[in-house]
Amino acid sequence: MVCRLLVKELGVNIPNGPMKRSIHILVVDDEPRIARPLADALAAEGYEIDVAVNGQRALEKIKDRAYDLIFSDLRMPELDGVGLCQELERRQSDLLRRMIFITGAIEHLDYQSFLAQTLVPVLAKPFSLSALHALTRQVLSTSRPDLK
């Protein structure tokens, strides 16, 4: 499922001057009632959004496209957010700087130690649109120095 609405553009510094490029965000969540509104809220800000239903599908999408930011739930079938994070660390560790966990499982014992050890920011469900947009801007600004 791909949602393409307005596309937010940022300047990318290249030797011959700035070039405009869209910002691509991957939303990884198995619950459509979470994934769809999240994708819609980000698309309304002008980002280009792809959605994956689990970590395995996310890895397939990441092979085919470069993402500026990845939002991932923790609890999902097949490959959960922890497994996705571990695979990204093994395959493309630079993507961890561009990742945000979205979860309602922040109190779940299995995830507490993982979240305490990871440097990936967490947006706890339920979250406000202002918190979503603030964290999105923060991670984009620190993870992609080539974007201005």
Task: Tell me the longest C-alpha to C-alpha distance in the chain.
Answer: 51
Specify the pLDDT at position 16: 41
CA–CA separation, 58 vs 87, rounded Å?
11
pTM of the model: 0.81
pLDDT exceeds cutoff 60 at 99: yes
- Return the SS3 of 14: strand
What pLDDT is stored for residue 101 in this prediction? 93
For residue 14 the two structure tokens come to: 């290249």
Q: What is the mean pLDDT of the chain?
A: 82
| Range name among 22-26, 101-105, 134-138 with the lowest pLDDT average | 101-105
Residue 93 CB neighbours (<10 A): 9
How many CB atoms within 10 Å of residue 128? 9
Domain spans of the chain? Answer: 2-143
Q: HEC states along 71-110?
A: EECCCCCCCCHHHHHHHHHHHCHHHHHHEEEEECCCCCHH
Per-residue pLDDT tens digits for 36-54: 999 999 999 999 999 999 9
Q: Give the pLDDT of residue 105.
A: 66
Model confidence at 143, in pLDDT bands (50, 70, 90)? confident
Q: Specify the fold of 2-143.
A: Rossmann fold (3.40.50)
Q: What percent of the chain has pLDDT over 70?
A: 79
104-142: pLDDT as tens digits:
766 666 777 777 788 889 998 889 999 999 999 999 998
